[in-house]
Amino acid sequence: MSTLSPPPSPFGIVLPTSQGSIICNRNDTFHTPELLKNWQGAAEEMTLGFLSLFLESAPEGAVCLDVGSNYAIFGLAFARSLAPKNGVCHAFEAQRIIAYMAAGTVALNGVNNLYIHHLAIGDTCGEIPIPKFDYKEKANFGAIEFASEQKEKLCQERQKSSPDDEKVSVVTIDSLQFKNVYLIKMDIEGMEVLGLKGAEATILRDKPILFVEHIKSGSYQLASICQNLGYRVYLFDMLNFLCVHSSKLNAYKKLETVGINLSARDVRYFWA
């Protein structure tokens, strides 16, 4: 009588967070330890609370875009905040395995207004190879870069590419023709400049709040792009810019009541 070999240990686990149950990779060296230490997800809870102040002012039927969603922690928070106003969040994740985890999280939490898209975001439509890493080994999977080489050092090396590598479709935000876009959070590991260029028509039309990681994209170039689109650019922290269109500066006035002075973070004062 033959015996079946035991299945390999799964790398997917479910952890409780302030936003609900999150499916993540037990081998993730950043998000998983943070969630294990603090069920709120200490690394992102302050940012989520900050952005929620803006979402309180979102109009009926508002759309939020979570570009580079990873495990959809931001997407869950955005969707829950928008639900009373019949708003929706569209989240984009280019890594197939991570996108599947995010989709599982949506189903697990029964969030009807959060859509997970396994797509990369860029300045033109096409396709791009998915970098090859082993999800059964340790790495900061949220730091994987889709450029030709991995610049940030991870716990494992990027595997050699080949013509048969799995690919993911690349689309522009403009090509998706979303309406009433209120907030765009963009964290795509050095491809933010391309992502913003592909969203230019949407940004010029709807003037959404932009929360964009700048650490890998060249801070000056990224700030210049946003300023040329009519935005006031604030240094939210060492990783991210918060950008508010000049015509909507009153949107952050309420932040003064909680002790947040954005004016002191205006990049013009740092780079004058």
**Phi, psi values for residue 152, rounded to 5°:** -75, 130
In angstroms, rounded to a whole number, what is the distance separating the alpha carbons of residues 22 and 13?
Answer: 8
pLDDT score, position 2: 60
The pTM of the full predicted model, rounded to 2 decimals, is: 0.92
CA distances from 107 to 78, 104, 111, 140 (A): 16, 5, 7, 24
Neighbours of 37 (CB within 10 A): 11
Domains of the chain as residue ranges with CATH:
12-270 (3.40.50.150)
**Better pLDDT: 39 or 4:** 4
Give the Cα separation of 245 and 210 in Å (integer): 9
pLDDT digits (tens, 9 = 90+) for 69-107: 999 999 999 999 999 999 999 999 999 999 999 999 999
Give CA–CA dist 245/230, Å, rounded.
6
- pLDDT the model gives residue 81: 94
Q: Is the pLDDT of residue 212 over 90?
A: yes
Tell me what pLDDT residue 226 has.
96
pLDDT digits (tens, 9 = 90+) for 246-259: 998 876 666 665 55
- At 226, which amino acid appears? C
